[in-house]
Structure formats: C-alpha cells, structure tokens
Structure 1
Amino acid sequence: MRIVLVNWARIWDGAEHGGGVNQYCQALALDLVRRGHEVVSLFGGITYVPDRRECFIRRHDDWMGVRVFEVINSPVMAPAAVQFREPMGEVSAPELEARVGELFEWLKPDAVHFNNLEGFSIGCVERAKQAGARTVFSLHNYHTLCPQVYFMQGHRETCYDFDNGHNCAKCFDALHPREERRKLEEEFARGRGGKEVQDAAQQFREAAGGPWRAVKSGVGLARAWWKTRGRLPGSAVNGAGDVTGARPANGEDARGKTPYLMAELNPPKPRDPDALELRPLDNSILPEPISSKPPNDYSRRRAAMVRMLSSCDRVLAVSRFVGRKFASMGVSAGDAGSLRVLPIGSRINRVIALKPDLLFDPPPFEHPPRETRPVRLLFLGYNHHYKGLPMVAETLEMMSPEHLRKIDLSVFALGGQTIEWMFRRLEPRLARLKYAYGYTFHDIPWMMGGKDLTLVPSVWWDNAPQTVFESMSCGVPVLGAAVGGIPDFVHHGVNGLLFRGNDREDLKRRLIEMIENPWQLEELRRNVRPCKSIEEHTPEMERIYRGEDVGERVMPESGSAVEVTVTAAATKATGGTR
C-alpha cells in the first residue's frame, strides 16, 4: 500500500521536535517501510521564506526509505499555539488545500493517516477523500476540539466550559500568526550556513523573476547568515547610553550557579489552597453547560472539527478516556460510528533488545525499613505545567526531612532549566538528586536501569503518555496520576500506583506509603509487562488502512464516562484494561 502520514513536525526529529506524536509517526513509518509499504511523510506550518508569499510544496531527500514532502509558507501555522488567534484558518485554507490536493492526486495513496491537523486544515482531509484515499485520524491530543490542545484555561485551570467559544478567546495571550510568520521569515533569512544557505538560494532562484533578482536574493541571504556567525559575547559599549540602566537576561538565566542561588534566595511561598490551579482533577466527563452567548469563531471551529472527524473512515482514540471524551462532544460513535479505541505501539522494545545489559533490577530492600536504601524515583519528559514536574517539587516540599532522605530522585526534563532551582532547594534534604535538561529516545534504557518507580504526574487529561509505555517495557512500575488514559495501563496495586490528579496531598501520601513500605515496589515490579510493540501495532494499522474494523467501539453514553476514584484505602478504576 501507499500510505501518507500527516503531522506538523519533521519525521527525522522524532520526539525531540514534535513530542510523542512525532515519535509515534517515526516508529510507524519505519515499520511500515520494513513491511514493504510505500510511505510518505507530509509536514508543514514551520518553514516560512521571505520574498515569496504563496504556499508551495518541496520534496526533501528520502529519509530511511520514507518519501518526505514539506508545505512551505502554509497559511496554517504549527504548532497549535502560534495559530491560536486564527481558529478558522484550520477550517478552511483554499490555497493550502489546493497544493495538498495536487500532491494527493499525484501520489494516489491508498490511505492518508492524519496524526495531527496542526499546520493543515479540515479541507485537506476532504482533499484526501477526493483523491480516493481512506482517511484515518488518530486522536493523540485534543487539538481538534481545543485549539490550545490541553483543555487548560490559561495553561493552568482545567476547562469544563468553553462558553460557545468565548472562554477560548480569552484563554491565553498569543501573538497573531502574521507576527509569528514574520519571526520565522527572519530566522530563515539569517540561516545557518552551508547547505541550508545553498538550498535557500536555489529556492529563491526558482521563485525569482530573473537571474539578477536571484543573485541579489542569494547573496543577501548569505550575507545575513555571515553577520550572525562568530558573534562576540554581549553587546557593544560605545557610550553612556550603553552602560546605564538594567539589562535583564532574555529568557531564563541558567549561567553558572544561578539555579542554586535562585533556590537559596527563593524560599517556598504559601499558596492559596482554594486557587483553581490547585484543585484536584477527577477523570470524569460531564456535559458542558449550555451557553447563552452566540457562537464565535472558536465555537464554529469546534463544530467543523466534529463534523470532519465524524466523516473520516476511521478515528482512533489512544485510550478509552479519549474515546469517550470525543464521543461526549459529538464525534460519531457506537456501532455505526467511525470512532474506535486502539492504543498505539512503541519501538522502545526494539531499543531495549539492542542494549539489554543497560536494564537491571534495583538492589532488594532490607529490613527494617529505617536501615534500607533510598527509593529510586525517575521523571523523564518535557517540563511544562501539564506534565506535572512543578507539582512534584511542591509535593516534596511538603514532606519531612526524614522522608526526603529516603528518596533518590533522577529528573531528565527537556526545558528543565526553568525550574531547576525548585529542585536544587530540595537537594540537601534528598538522599540524592540527579537533574539533567533532557535526553534522547535511545537514552531511556540506561535511565531506567536500577530504578524503582517512574513518576507520571500529569495535571491534565493526558491522552496516553508514552512515558508509561516506555517505563513498563523497561520493567519499571509507574506512579501516575489517575487522569486521562493513564488508568488504562496503570492498575493500582498491580503493576503500579495511582494518585488523584493534581492532588499534592494524595501524591505525598502515596510517596510516604512507598517509603515506609518499599517492599511493595518489588511486587509491583514482578507484575509489570512490556507495552504493545510497534511490530504488534503496525499490522493493526495495515488492517485499518485496508478498511477493516479494528479496535474497541466507543458507545455514546450520558453523564460521566470513565470514572476513576482514588481513596486512601484503595483505588478503583473502571474503563481500563488489564
């Protein structure tokens, strides 16, 4: 079969640019190629060039057997945050749809698998149908229903009511897409030298109205790049105006020992316990209140997205919670609907098989507990509010020194510089702290080796975090928030532990239970099983691309769907699979 995988990020970047969705696209593409299929990757919304305003498509060199095409100057920008102020652009973008439609007509794919609509529009899905392809849409996140992606008002409070789109309009401050585009054009003009400058010059030659204009464009671009290379530190000092006044750092300042000093100078501050962002999050789905306000563009966008999803040949939810959330908001479900639940696969099993010696069990715990070794905890992922790393630091601050000295904590957080000081403040009280600013996918086995428990403390309805799959495939149980798709895979007291989402007191209680009774971790570890591999998942996708019915049906129901209750005595989870 000829299969087109659509996503906004470059497929060769994997999780480093595009997160878990792009990591999945990469793994699926490579396995489809291995199984003999023609695979095409289409991405867009991230490259903008000056001196040429129209949208066009460029072909990159094939990557690992995958054909790669990029939409340049897409009128729909990616990722979602930069398009936020123009919600209807994701509904209709005729110029983009014409170019993408031409590509689909030339390719004549058997299936077009949309893993995101960021950088594209609803009309692109219709163009895939017109080209004779089956349309498959994977719900890796909530972008189709929430242009902010996370159902989090202002990035902090769970959104239960979009008020016919009026709460979306005031959700968070975002630049207009034209300002974002201007910045990207300037970045392109500055360039990074070498082949990129040559490619850009060639691109300008193709667009130029004559050879002289092409020469000027190419030389100008090269000159812009040359000016940026080998810059001196700081800025020039030529007079009184350059030496007076403050000069704050542009962004987070991580020079030298700054994080340690920030920890020293910023003691914990009391927080309002009734603040909305501190409210615990339950895994319930309730109808949104009826709004008396007229629909705006955000409301019209959501309605159009629901119609688009319902019209696809197959819509795949990565967890039961996600399936029921989308069904509750109108996406076609039931026996006749297009919506199915199908957890994804991961290629982490293959990475582990290449280096099995990197994974090893932690030492056994000794008796009595006061004399045994510290519990080894691990966090890996992105540092932003939704993933809950700041909440972990706040929870640890609530614990006694006696308990903290029984915790050996390793944090591998992409972008972790911004809150490092919160953990450095804790460091003298912990048994040990290892804090790093990131990792690559192939680092995961050695990071997991010898660990007792992986923290997955999401404070939003996390669809199905791949950290859970990676931890379980490495044989490490998970302490996770009972939100989103996490309870589908983590079963309390069996292969991991759950705590109430965004509840610092409940997380603290779980940590203390674990410290005071560490032997339970050995039992959990014995029950951990590897996640579904990409080699197991790809045949499922092949059947879907051929039109077969694969996955669990999502039945529409009234009231709440997927209830997870976490109590001090036990955790009850319905909607998960064992």
Structure 2
Amino acid sequence: MKILFYNWVDYLDDEKRGGGVTVYQRNTIQAMRAEDGISCVFLSSGISYDVLQSGPRWERIKHGPSEDRDIRFEIVNSGVLAPSHHSFGDERQTTEPATTEVFMDFLRKNGPFDVVHFNNLEGLPADVLKLKEHFPETRVIFSLHNYYPVCPQVNLWHQERENCVDFDNGRKCEQCLPHQHDTRIIELANGVAFNLKKRGVRPGSKMFDRGFGPAMRLAGRAVGFYNRRIRKGNGGQTPQVASQNSLLRRVERSHVKFARRRTAMVEAINTHCDRVLCVSDRVGVVASKFGIAPALIQTGYIGTQHASKYSETSPKSTLTKPDGTLTLAFLGYMRHDKGFFFLLDTLETTPADIAARINIVICSHLLDQHCMDRITALSDRFASVLFADGY
C-alpha cells in the first residue's frame, strides 16, 4: 500500500509549526514506515516561496533536517498561503488552477497512491479533492483536526472571544480577524526564509536571524513605497480599483465570498472524499451541523507514542497526594480558544485555602511578558508553580 500524507507544514519543520497535527503526522509516518508492505510519501504547501522564480512547482524538500529526505516533498509558490489566516477568505482557497495542476502532476509522477490522506487543505485549493476524476482507484481521506472547511479563521472562534455558531451567511466573517496580513509581505517573508534555509541557514541560528530581520524590514518598506507610489499615480485609488475603472465588473459584498467558500468546501468534501476522520465525537457533531455528510464521518482519535504504556498503567484511587495537595497541568497554546485565559482567570480568583493545596504545571510557549507576570504572581498563593516555555 502506498500512502500520500498532506499537511501545510513539514512534519520535521525546524520552527515546529503546526502544533499537535505535526506531532501526529510525524508519529504516524514513523509507525507506518515500520510496517511491511506500506510506503509513505509526504507533501506540504503554502509556506515555501521562491523570490527568484515565479509560478508553483513541486520539488523534494531541500532544507531542514536530512531525515526522511527521500519521502518529503513540497509545493513551492502555491497560490494559497498557509496557514489559513495568512490568506483569510481568499477565494483561491477553493479554486486555483495552477496549484491544482501542480498537485495533480505530483500525483502522476510519484504515484499511483492507494490512499491520499489530507490532514487539512490549508495551502492548497479545495479543487485538489477532485483527484479521483484522474485517479479513480485512489481513496481520499480527509481529517478534521479543526474547522477550516467551514471557517477561514479555522477554529470557529469569532474575534478571539466566542464560539461562532452562526456566521450570519458570511457577515460575521467580515469582522472576525482583528488584523489581516498583507499577503505580499507574507510571501516576501516566506521567500526570504525559504532562500536562507535552502542555503543551509536554519531558523534559530544567529545567521538566520541576522539575515531575515534586515531583509524583512527592507521588504516592508518596499511594499509601503510601492503602495504609496501606485496610489499617488492613480489619484489615491488602489491598483485594483484603478485598473478596473473602465471595465464592467461584478460588485458584491465581501460576506458573499465567505458564504460561497463554505458551500464550495463542504460540497467538495461530500462529493470527493471517501471518509472524513474527526478527532473527536464532538467534532463530528459540529461537522455534521455545518453540512458534512454524516455517512462520511468517523471518529479517529489522535494517538501518541505513549499509547503503548497504557496497558502498564492503573487508575489512581485518588487525585490527591498524601500531603493533601493535587497537581493541575495545562499543556497547549496560550490562546483564548484553547481555554488558557479562562484557566488563568479562574486560578487568580481561586479561594486562598483551596489554592494552597494545588500545584500548578504550565507547559506552553510564552505569549508575552504580561502572561509571565500573571503566572509568576500565582506562586504567591498556590502550593507550587512550574512553568516550561514550549509546546
């Protein structure tokens, strides 16, 4: 059996992007490659951009760790930026012919594949799900690690404040992100990083930091200068408006594109996928509510390398230690939608007599100094506070 796994970021990414999905992908490939009769190939897309060559292409990954170089590939110059908030609501997330053709070419040159497993579609247009039109024997599996197909913000978390249960036909999407990135600056940043990494200058090194920072400051000034010059030459209008002034064009509110995006994503999944794996039963319920066909949905919990230890364990008879204390741990990102700030608010208001009997462990990449100050202040009231800066 030959399997192609897709995720927007390399599972051996030097910058450790992608969170738990990256860890899951790495563990899955390692386990699969240890099995007889199974071969794996991995593809990523949406973050590698070449400032010296235009147009999308696929190639073997030429940067990062040397491990698994024989199976790791990427699409360079994808028409769809990843992760999703870098191309928030961009209609190319559903249709981008050049990137779709490069993806199909990759399948032709490196297949045939028995299974193509998408861990998400960030970095690719949804049209790639039509691969069965070219490879009818291939099974298409789509994993819902988040809600990207129905939410360009990914987590159904409106304005970083509340669960989005009704997007008002796309109108709530218009005011969702507090800040939207300039895609040209993102592509330039990715291009600078890509070309540094290809030359062996890896993220985290002094040489990378010294090269990347100044290059990005120059890029930002160049984009700003370009915008000012073009607008001045066009009477203050944006290039898009100026170039279309004399043309007939369809005018519509931006919420329409968000509604169209959700419809197109759901239709593509329901039409072309053989199975939709949801990481929990609840994710399956939410997916069904937003239109994913229930007949396709199956819960597939993410395993870890520690699963083999389960048979050696036994449940504790009590959560408390002999001294009457218990330990409460948080492992994840410092984000509202992960519950971190809800937890922090709750700990700060915990009665003193209860707090004195609780040990706190926080393993999370530090967001800013203000968060660190709040965590440090807990040590005055709780039995102990341990903090590890990392995911």
TM-score (norm 1): 0.54
The verdict on how the C-alpha distance between 1:400 and 1:414 changes in structure 2, with shifts beyond 3 A counting, is: same
The reply to whether residue 91 of structure 1 matches residue 94 of structure 2 is yes
The reply to whether residue 340 of structure 1 matches residue 298 of structure 2 is yes
Matches within 5 A, 1:272-421: 296-311=256-271, 312-333=273-294, 337-350=295-308, 365-366=321-322, 372-418=323-369, 419-421=371-373
Give the whole-Å Cα distance in 2 for the aligned partners of 1:15 and 1:139. 23
Give the whole-Å Cα distance in 1 for the aligned partners of 2:362 and 2:85. 26
Deviations 1:295-337 (A, max 9, x none): 611110100111111121111222222112111222222xxx3
8 Å Cα contact 1:313/1:338 also seen in 2: yes
Give the whole-Å Cα distance in 2 for the aligned partners of 1:407 and 1:364. 9
Deviation at 1:15, TM superposition (A): 10
The reply to whether residue 428 of structure 1 matches residue 386 of structure 2 is no
Structure 2 counterpart of 1:131, from 124, 129, 135: 135
Residue equivalent to 2:34: 34
Residue equivalent to 1:2: 2
Residue equivalent to 1:263: none
The verdict on how the C-alpha distance between 1:193 and 1:324 changes in structure 2, with shifts beyond 3 A counting, is: closer
Deviations 1:40-62 (A, max 9, x none): 10101111121212111111378
Give the whole-Å Cα distance in 2 for the aligned partners of 1:361 and 1:383. 31
8 Å Cα contact 2:320/2:326 also seen in 1: no
Deviation at 1:349, TM superposition (A): 2.5
The verdict on how the C-alpha distance between 1:390 and 1:363 changes in structure 2, with shifts beyond 3 A counting, is: closer
Give the whole-Å Cα distance in 1 for the aligned partners of 2:14 and 2:268. 27
Residue equivalent to 1:220: none
Matches within 5 A, 1:544-563: none
Gaps of 5+ in 2: 214-252
The reply to whether residue 159 of structure 1 matches residue 159 of structure 2 is no
Give the whole-Å Cα distance in 2 for the aligned partners of 1:21 and 1:76. 19
Residue equivalent to 2:125: 121
SS at match of 1:5: strand
Deviation at 1:389, TM superposition (A): 1.6
Structure 2 counterpart of 1:148, from 140, 153, 160: 153
2:327 maps to a residue whose letter is: R
Deviation at 1:13, TM superposition (A): 3.7
8 Å Cα contact 1:46/1:119 also seen in 2: yes
Give the whole-Å Cα distance in 1 for the aligned partners of 2:141 and 2:56. 25
8 Å Cα contact 1:306/1:331 also seen in 2: yes
8 Å Cα contact 1:14/1:23 also seen in 2: no
Residue equivalent to 1:48: 49
Give the whole-Å Cα distance in 1 for the aligned partners of 2:293 and 2:319. 50
1:150 maps to a residue whose letter is: N
Deviations 1:183-214 (A, max 9, x none): 2223445x2685359xxxxxxxxxxxxxxxxx
Deviation at 1:420, TM superposition (A): 1.3
Deviation at 1:151, TM superposition (A): 0.7
Deviation at 1:23, TM superposition (A): 1.6
The verdict on how the C-alpha distance between 1:364 and 1:408 changes in structure 2, with shifts beyond 3 A counting, is: closer
The verdict on how the C-alpha distance between 1:344 and 1:24 changes in structure 2, with shifts beyond 3 A counting, is: same
The verdict on how the C-alpha distance between 1:178 and 1:328 changes in structure 2, with shifts beyond 3 A counting, is: same
8 Å Cα contact 1:15/1:22 also seen in 2: no
2:141 maps to a residue whose letter is: V
Deviations 1:156-190 (A, max 9, x none): 1211221111111211121132331122223445x
1:422 maps to a residue whose letter is: R
Q: CA RMSD in A?
A: 3.0
More off after superposition, 322-331 vs 107-116: 322-331
2:290 maps to a residue whose letter is: M
SS at match of 1:39: strand
The verdict on how the C-alpha distance between 1:328 and 1:193 changes in structure 2, with shifts beyond 3 A counting, is: closer
Residue equivalent to 1:70: 74
The reply to whether residue 58 of structure 1 matches residue 71 of structure 2 is no
Residue equivalent to 2:231: none
Deviation at 1:410, TM superposition (A): 1.2
8 Å Cα contact 2:279/2:301 also seen in 1: yes
The verdict on how the C-alpha distance between 1:129 and 1:362 changes in structure 2, with shifts beyond 3 A counting, is: farther
8 Å Cα contact 2:3/2:115 also seen in 1: yes
Identity fraction in percent: 28
1:91 maps to a residue whose letter is: T
The reply to whether residue 176 of structure 1 matches residue 182 of structure 2 is yes
Give the whole-Å Cα distance in 2 for the aligned partners of 1:180 and 1:65. 26
Deviation at 1:361, TM superposition (A): 10
SS at match of 2:150: coil
Give the whole-Å Cα distance in 1 for the aligned partners of 2:54 and 2:114. 32
The verdict on how the C-alpha distance between 1:388 and 1:27 changes in structure 2, with shifts beyond 3 A counting, is: same
